[in-house]
Structures are given as structure tokens and as C-alpha cells.
């Protein structure tokens, strides 16, 4: 202490200033983190996508924190497993808001789980970025809702639209169609939309049925379709069912000009490798494929980092379908908070409505109903797949993009199955 | 054409029914004969699927061969589970509600364990007959359904022979009817129940292999089978393996025909309608006593 007393006063002042400067960042760091709360399907039927989504969110949070956080505060993800069960969701979101006191919320994964989360978000006036929901806001009409899947304003139409666009290019012109979909939210909405488009296109609907969840054998369904002799088969199925339907089509020898459209499953690496050559000529929707036309800033870095982290975690090893878009959703939340300069829910929603956001999946602008202002769902035809190896699915030549026009890389080829 | 459709619907239904029978066999023994509501059985079926998957991926062995090799391990697991169940619940007469909670817990523990070890991605096996089909005239047999169906029938025949022709098998049938009378014959009913429960769990190994041949699985796939397997068990008649087989085949054929001619969404309604009708006319089930 004596030593300090004996120092010249100028030096003392300089030391004090240095101490203040040194302490300033730690004072910022001591501020509580910005908590972002959500429920996620980490077990149950949607867990395959839920866990991949969580990994992408964690990658975003790590990246943001490494750069100093948002509004100079660290970001903390607060999440609970909703077990893929809609009934768990309202309780979790209430707990997140009342007990965990989160500052921001993001939706769970998938339409069936977003809808119950919306009831809490609307009541508490929270802005909610949604992850892969189809038409949720059609009923709520909530002005603080945003959805990251590139479906566009008429969200239920985005997937079937690509299928029917491809059908219109066929020669000879197709005359009839079979529509088969899962008796669940996504299957119903997509089948309804496909039905309207088929009627508008003047196609005769020769088979139009829904199948119940947990159907094991699809041979009876496929034989009934075969008996109806459709030119086109539109499928709106869930992953396990998609495998069952595609295998049954190949086993029974059913042929049609175009098959697929709304099958959930072929987007995932595990289903791609299971089906292998059975995918050839199948029409499938994708959100992202490694095409030269989809080289958005940061996407390749993100995919490489994701694939390195996903290895050994039992999640989708390619990560083309869900992870880049979930990462983009978080990028938008982050950018909106920074642009707004506060955590005011109404102001954040206004910022998201008013701006275009640069993300790893390209520039995103939202329409009034919270969907992308322009749809960008890809309809691809799988081609040239040999065997069941994973690496071939990193090759853009196996995905012929049929629509939208801006990304088109080829025309539809008939029939399915290709052999 | 309609006749071809009908024939193929019946064939598909029989193959599907044989698979249902394999899935229900264990429940038929544990619930039907031992009065143990092993609601975790579908979870162990998925465990069987994952064992088949992991060995198939690394060594390329057929899932059914893997399942047969894994039978002793499943049998041993069954013995351990029964011992815990007996000591914790059955011995104290708390086997109804608390036992049910125990098996519910086991179902979730199995699912979470699979989640942690294998992750949540869809898993399937690589066997040459998946995607192939045999044709005899107008009849078509998808091989991935045919192989599990045939092995399932053989498994049922073996189980029925064992129960009907061996001392232990007869003791299992006896313990389901009157454990005290069995004790008078100098047979330990607890030992017999342990053997029977272990056999029931061993069938999960086979059913798991069949399932992953037919479709990809995730850790939670087992939940989808709980309602269906108990319905088949009750329809067949508690304690009757032949009844279970007949009920499973019947449900399979009805689902398949309904699916082909009236639409798949009607299939569960028609098959569960049949269950209600049968129970109204014959409350003990098709072959129940």
C-alpha cells in the first residue's frame, strides 16, 4: 500500500483509467444472457428432425456468442423435449415464459407442434419464429408469426405446385391422377391442395384416399392404385410410409408417368440411402440441394460444419433439409434483435416485417402472413442413383431441379419406376 | 381384375397377419397366460430391430439369423425383468396398477436408451430380398413380407409344440390356469412364470428383426403397436397361441381387403369393429376358454 501512496498522482490516474477500461467488458459480460426458449422434438416420431434442428440452433448460438452475443449479451438456449407430442407444448411454453423468464421464443419443429405453441405466443403477444409449419397462421392470422420453410404466402400449395408444373410439361399430356396421403395434418393439407390443382388442370382423379398412421403394408393401397391406371400418382406421406409406398410400388410393378411430390422422407440421408436406386425418377420436394445454383453466402461453410458435428450423433448426416433453414431462422432472430436494439416483442416483429435478411439460405423477406413473400420450394427428380452409398447424395448431378424456374436444371423424365 | 385384386389382397393380408402374430406372440404369453401387462413389449421389439440393424450394418448378416442368435440374450433379459417385477410387485400383491406403471417406465427407458445409443435417425437393414417380389400366376409375394411371414409361422408352430408337448410347456399352460394346483404338483410356479416371461421376451427379438426388414425404425416406433397387439391378443382369446395366430391373420386379411376395395382409412375401423363384435358375441375371444 505504501508503494501505491508514493506513486506520482498522474501515474495513479492512468492506472485507475486502465482498471476501468479493463473492467468495462467484464461488466458487460456480467449482464444476464438473452434467453431464447423453445420446445423441441428430441424423442418420439419427429425427433429425427428435432435433433438436427437443435444442432443447427446450437451452432448459431455458439457462433453468436463467439462474436460477443446479441446487444453485447451472451445468448442462452433454454429448451425442453416435447416428445413430439402436441399436448406437451402449451405447458412447456408457459413454463419458459413464467418460470425460466425467457426473452425470446422460437417454435417447436413441425406443424402439429407449432399450432399449440401459437396459442401461448398469441395470448402473451410474443413474436414467434416458426420452424417448418404448413399453414399454421391461416387460422390465427397473428402479425408476430414468421415461418422459415420456403413455402410462400399460400403455404399448402407450394409442394404440390412443383409436381403439377412438371406434369404440365409432359408429352403426351397426362389424363388421370391418383392422390394418396397420410390421414394427418400435413398429408391432408397437401392432398387437398393437390386435388384442387388436379381439377384445375383437367385431370381425372381415379384414386383419392388417405391412409391411417401406423400403416405397415402398402401393397393393398398400391394395387388399388394400379387397378385405377393413373398417369400420375401424387403422394403426401410421412417418412416410414414413404419408404413403404415406394417399396410397394417397385414390388408390384406399378408404373406411372410421374410419382411422388409430397413424400416426406426422401429429404433425409437415411431414407435416401435406404431407397437407393428406387429413388430414380421419383419426384420429391427439397428445401436445399447442393446445386451450383444454390451457392448462397455461408451455406457451404454451414453444411461442412454441420456434417462434422452430426457425425456420430445419430442425426441426419447430410443435413440439407432442416438444419440450414433452422440456422437461417436463428440468423433472422439475431439480426432483428440487433436492428431493433431491444427485446421489445412488437418492435422485433415490425423489424422482421420491414426488412430483408441475408441468411445461409439466401435473402429472405416475409409477407404479411409471416410466410416467405415468394415460395422457393424445390421440386426435384432424383436421377442416376446407384447402390445405397451416402456420398453420391452430395453430388448435384443426382438432383434435377424441375422448379422453380430460377433454379431449374432440367426437365421431368418418365416413367416411375425408371426400370 | 377384381378377382386378382381380391386374391392379392388376401395374400397381402395373410403375410401382414403373420407379422402381427409375431409381434403379438410375446403379449399373448405374458398378458394372456401370466396376467402380466407387459406394455413395454413393443419397446423390446424395437430393441430387437436395433440389434439386427447394428449387426447387419457391420457384418452384413441377415436380421433373422441375428435374431435367432440373440434369442438367449433376450431370454436372459426376460428372466431379469421378471425377477425384478416379481420381487417388487407380484410378491406383494401389487402387480396390477404398480406393475403397469413399471412396464410403462420400462417402455420409456428402452426408448430413451435407444435414443442415446443410436440417435434418432431412421434405421434399416440391407438384405438382398428387400424390394424383390415372387410371382405365381396372378399372385404376387413381396419377399420382404413373405420371409418374415414364413418364419413367423414356423416360430408359432415351434412355440405351440413346446407349450403342448413338453413338461415345462404344459406347466406354463397350467400356471396360467391355477398356480396353486401347480404348486401341489411340486412345481415352482414362480420358476415357471419366469421361464414363460423369458420366452415371451425372446419372441421380441424375432419380431424386431421382422419389423426392420419390412420398414425403417426409430426408437419411438414401438408406441404404434401397443393398441394393435393387445387388441389381437384379446380377439384371439387370452392364453391361446393358436387363437392369437388366427386373430392376427384375420385382422391382417380384413385390413388388407378393406384397404384395397374401400380405402385404407377404413381398415382400422373395420378391424376394431370386428373386435367389438366378437367380444359381444364371445367375450372370451375366438379361442379363449
A229 touches chain B (CB under 8 A): no
B130 touches chain A (CB under 8 A): yes
Show the CA angle centred on residue A361, arms to residues A357 and A363, nearest 5°: 30
- The pLDDT assigned to B239 comes to 85
Q: Name the residue among A48, A216, A223 with its Cβ closest to that of B214.
A: A216
Please compute Rg for chain A using Cα positions.
25
Q: Could you tell me the CA-to-CA distances from B204 to A353, B61, B74, B100, B255 in Å, in that order?
A: 54, 18, 8, 19, 23
Say if the Cβ atoms of A215 and B264 lie within 8 Å: yes
- The pLDDT assigned to A112 comes to 87
- Residues A266-284 have a mean pLDDT of 95
pLDDT at A16 over 70: no
Q: Could you tell me what percentage of chain B is helix, strand and coil, using 3-state DSSP and rounding each to the nearest 5?
A: 80, 5, 20
Q: How many CB pairs under 8 A join A and B?
A: 142
Helices and strands, number each (H, E), in chain A: 14, 14
B8 touches chain A (CB under 8 A): yes
B264 touches chain A (CB under 8 A): yes
Say if the Cβ atoms of A211 and B259 lie within 8 Å: yes
How large a percentage of chain A has pLDDT more than 70? 93
pLDDT digits (tens, 9 = 90+) for A382-398: 999 999 999 999 999 99
- Residues A314-323 have a mean pLDDT of 94
Say if the Cβ atoms of B112 and A43 lie within 8 Å: yes
- Residues A146-160 have a mean pLDDT of 94
pLDDT at B188 over 50: yes
Q: What is the DSSP letter of B33?
A: I
Which residue on chain A is closest to B126 by alpha carbon? A274
Return the SS3 of A81: strand
Q: How many C-beta atoms surround the C-beta of residue B112 within 10 A?
A: 15
Task: Report B:181-210 residues touching A (Cβ under 8 A).
Answer: none
Return the SS3 of B225: helix
Say if the Cβ atoms of B268 and A212 lie within 8 Å: yes
pLDDT at B42 over 50: yes
Chain B residues inside the 8 Å CB shell of A219: 8, 12, 140, 142, 145, 256
- The pLDDT assigned to A25 comes to 47
- Residues A308-334 have a mean pLDDT of 94
pLDDT band of residue A19 (cuts 50, 70, 90) is: very low
Strand ranges (E), A316-411? 356-359, 362-365, 378-382, 399-403
A146 touches chain B (CB under 8 A): no
Asked if A159 and A261 count as a contact pair (C-beta separation under 8 A), the reply is yes
Whole-model pTM: value is: 0.88
Distance (Å) from the C-alpha of residue A211 to the closest C-alpha of chain B?
5
pLDDT band of residue B175 (cuts 50, 70, 90) is: confident
For residue A76, list its beta bridge partners: A35
Which residue on chain A is closest to B15 by alpha carbon? A217
pLDDT band of residue A26 (cuts 50, 70, 90) is: very low
A54: region left, alpha or beta (phi > 0 left; psi from -120 to 50 alpha): alpha
ipTM comes to 0.90
Q: How far apart are CA B29 and CA B22, in angstroms?
A: 12
Say if the Cβ atoms of B216 and A251 lie within 8 Å: no
Distance (Å) from the C-alpha of residue A405 to the closest C-alpha of chain B?
32
- The pLDDT assigned to B185 comes to 79
pLDDT digits (tens, 9 = 90+) for A162-212: 999 999 999 999 999 999 999 988 899 899 999 999 999 999 999 999 999
- Residues B212-219 have a mean pLDDT of 94
Say if the Cβ atoms of A248 and B142 lie within 8 Å: yes
In whole numbers, what is the pLDDT of chain B averaged over residues? 92
pLDDT band of residue A257 (cuts 50, 70, 90) is: very high
Distance (Å) from the C-alpha of residue A1 to the closest C-alpha of chain B?
58
In whole numbers, what is the pLDDT of chain A averaged over residues? 92
Q: How far apart are CA B224 and CA B227, in angstroms?
A: 7
- The pLDDT assigned to B182 comes to 78
pLDDT at A20 over 50: no
Chain A residues inside the 8 Å CB shell of B113: none
Return the SS3 of A74: coil
Q: Could you tell me the CA-to-CA distances from B165 to A51, A153, B24, B159, B160 in Å, in that order?
A: 50, 68, 22, 10, 8
Higher pLDDT, B100 or B52: B52
Residues whose CB is less than 8 angstroms from the CB of residue A141 and which lie 6 or more positions away in sequence, other chains included: A369
Q: Could you tell me the CA-to-CA distances from A192 to A183, A246, B228 in Å, in that order?
A: 11, 21, 29
> Which range (A192-196, B84-88, B180-184, B211-215) has the least confidence?
B180-184
Distance (Å) from the C-alpha of residue B54 to the closest C-alpha of chain A?
13
pLDDT band of residue A11 (cuts 50, 70, 90) is: low
- The pLDDT assigned to B181 comes to 80
- The pLDDT assigned to A186 comes to 85
Query: In terms of Cα–Cα distance, which of A127, A106, A99, A115 is closest to A39?
Result: A106
Chain B residues inside the 8 Å CB shell of A388: 126
Query: In terms of Cα–Cα distance, which of A127, A75, A84, A128 is closest to A109?
Result: A84
Asked if B236 and B229 count as a contact pair (C-beta separation under 8 A), the reply is no
Distance (Å) from the C-alpha of residue B19 to the closest C-alpha of chain A?
10
By CB atoms closer than 10 A (0-12, 13-18, 19+), residue A66 is exposed
Distance (Å) from the C-alpha of residue A295 to the closest C-alpha of chain B?
27
Chain B residues inside the 8 Å CB shell of A265: 122
pLDDT at A78 over 90: yes
- DSSP H or E segment with residue A99: none
pLDDT band of residue A7 (cuts 50, 70, 90) is: low
Task: Report A:323-362 residues touching B (Cβ under 8 A).
Answer: none
Secondary structure (DSSP) of A226-248? HHH--SEEEEE--HHHHHHHHHH
pLDDT at A29 over 70: no
Interior/surface letters A17-26, b for 16+ CB within 10 angstroms, e for the rest: eeeeeeeeee
Q: How many C-beta atoms surround the C-beta of residue A199 within 10 A?
A: 12
- The pLDDT assigned to A9 comes to 58
pLDDT band of residue A8 (cuts 50, 70, 90) is: low
pLDDT band of residue A268 (cuts 50, 70, 90) is: very high
Chain A residues inside the 8 Å CB shell of B118: 314
Amino acid at each position: 500500500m505504501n508503494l501505491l501512496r508514493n506513486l506520482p498522482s498522474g501515474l495513479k490516474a492512468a492506472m485507475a483509467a486502465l482498471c476501468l477500461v479493463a473492467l468495462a467488458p467484464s461488466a458487460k459480460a456480467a449482464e444476464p444472457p438473452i434467453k431464447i426458449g423453445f420446445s423441441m422434438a428430441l424423442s418420439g416420431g419427429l425427433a429425427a428432425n428435432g435433433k438436427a434442428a437443435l444442432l443447427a440452433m446450437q451452432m448459431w448460438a455458439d457462433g453468436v456468442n463467439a462474436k460477443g452475443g446479441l446487444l453485447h449479451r451472451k445468448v442462452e438456449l433454454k429448451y425442453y423435449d416435447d416428445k413430439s407430442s402436441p399436448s406437451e407444448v402449451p405447458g412447456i411454453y408457459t413454463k419458459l415464459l413464467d418460470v425460466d423468464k425467457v426473452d425470446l421464443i422460437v417454435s417447436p419443429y413441425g406443424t402439429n407442434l407449432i399450432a399449440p405453441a401459437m396459442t401461448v405466443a398469441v395470448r402473451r403477444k410474443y413474436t414467434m419464429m416458426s420452424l417448418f409449419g404448413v399453414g399454421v397462421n391461416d387460422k390465427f392470422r397473428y402479425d408476430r408469426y414468421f415461418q422459415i420453410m420456403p413455402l410462400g404466402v399460400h403455404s399448402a400449395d407450394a409442394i404440390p405446385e412443383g409436381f403439377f408444373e412438371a406434369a404440365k410439361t409432359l408429352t403426351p399430356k397426362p389424363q388421370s391422377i391418383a392422390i394418396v396421403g397420410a390421414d394427418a395434418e400435413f398429408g391432408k393439407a397437401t392432398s387437398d391442395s393437390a386435388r384442387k390443382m388436379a381439377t384445375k388442370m383437367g385431370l381425372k382423379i381415379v384414386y383419392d384416399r388417405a391412409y391411417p398412421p401406423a400403416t405397415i403394408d402398402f401393397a393393398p393401397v398400391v394395387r388399388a392404385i394400379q387397378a385405377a391406371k393413373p398417369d400420375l400418382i401424387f403422394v403426401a406421406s410421412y417418412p416410414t410410409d414413404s419408404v413403404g409406398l415406394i417399396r410397394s410400388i417397385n414390388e408390384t410393378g406399378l408404373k406411372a408417368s410421374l410419382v411422388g411430390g409430397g413424400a416426406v422422407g426422401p429429404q433425409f440421408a437415411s431414407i435416401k440411402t435406404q431407397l437407393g436406386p428406387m429413388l430414380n425418377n421419383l419426384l420429391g420436394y427439397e428445401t436445399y440441394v447442393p446445386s451450383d445454383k444454390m451457392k448462397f453466402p455461408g451455406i457451404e461453410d454451414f453444411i461442412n460444419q454441420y456434417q462434422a458435428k452430426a457425425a456420430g450423433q445419430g442425426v441426419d448426416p447430410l443435413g440439407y433439409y432442416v438444419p440450414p433453414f433452422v440456422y437461417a431462422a436463428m440468423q433472422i432472430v439475431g439480426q432483428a434483435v440487433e436492428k431493433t436494439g431491444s427485446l421489445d416483442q412488437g418492435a422485433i416483429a415490425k423489424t422482421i416485417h420491414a426488412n430483408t435478411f441475408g441468411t445461409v439460405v439466401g435473402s429472405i423477406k416475409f409477407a404479411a402472413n409471416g410466410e416467405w413473400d415468394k415460395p422457393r420450394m424445390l421440386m426435384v427428380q432424383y436421377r442416376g442413383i446407384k447402390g445405397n452409398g451416402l456420398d453420391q447424395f452430395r453430388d448435384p448431378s443426382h438432383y434435377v431441379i424441375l422448379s422453380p424456374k430460377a433454379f431449374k436444371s432440367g426437365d421431368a423424365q418418365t416413367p416411375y419406376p425408371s426400370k | 381384375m377384381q378377382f386378382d385384386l381380391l386374391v392379392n389382397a388376401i395374400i397381402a393380408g395373410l403375410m401382414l397377419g403373420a407379422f402381427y402374430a409375431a409381434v403379438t406372440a410375446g403379449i399373448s404369453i405374458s398378458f394372456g397366460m401370466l396376467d402380466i401387462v407387459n406394455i413395454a413389449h413393443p419397446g423390446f421389439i424395437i430393441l430387437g430391430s436395433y440389434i439386427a440393424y447394428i449387426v447387419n450394418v457391420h457384418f452384413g448378416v441377415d436380421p433373422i439369423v441375428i435374431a435367432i442368435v440373440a434369442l438367449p440374450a433376450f431370454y436372459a433379459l426376460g428372466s431379469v425383468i421378471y425377477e425384478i417385477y416379481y420381487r417388487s410387485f407380484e410378491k406383494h400383491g401389487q402387480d396390477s396398477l404398480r406393475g403397469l406403471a413399471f412396464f410403462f417406465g420400462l417402455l420409456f427407458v428402452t426408448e430413451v436408451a435407444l435414443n442415446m445409443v443410436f440417435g434418432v435417425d431412421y434405421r434399416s437393414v440391407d438384405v438382398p430380398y428387400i424390394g424383390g417380389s415372387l410371382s405365381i400366376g396372378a399372385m404376387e409375394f413381396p419377399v420382404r413380407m413373405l420371409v418374415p411371414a414364413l418364419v413367423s409361422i414356423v416360430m408359432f408352430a415351434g412355440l405351440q409344440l413346446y407349450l403342448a408337448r413338453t413338461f415345462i410347456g404344459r406347466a406354463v399352460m397350467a400356471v396360467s390356469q391355477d398356480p396353486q394346483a401347480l404348486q401341489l404338483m411340486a412345481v415352482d410356479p414362480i420358476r415357471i412364470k419366469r421361464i414363460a416371461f423369458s420366452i415371451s421376451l425372446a419372441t421380441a427379438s424375432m419380431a424386431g428383426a421382422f419389423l426392420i426388414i419390412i420398414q425403417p425404425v426409430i426408437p419411438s416406433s414401438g408406441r404404434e403397436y401397443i393398441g394393435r397387439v393387445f387388441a389381437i391378443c384379446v380377439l384371439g382369446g387370452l392364453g391361446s397361441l393358436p387363437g392369437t395366430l388366427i386373430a392376427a391373420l384375420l385382422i391382417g386379411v380384413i385390413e388388407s381387403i378393406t384397404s384395397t376395395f374401400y380405402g385404407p382409412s377404413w381398415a382400422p375401423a373395420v378391424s376394431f369393429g370386428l373386435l367389438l363384435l366378437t367380444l359381444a358375441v364371445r367375450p372370451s375371444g375366438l379361442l379363449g376358454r
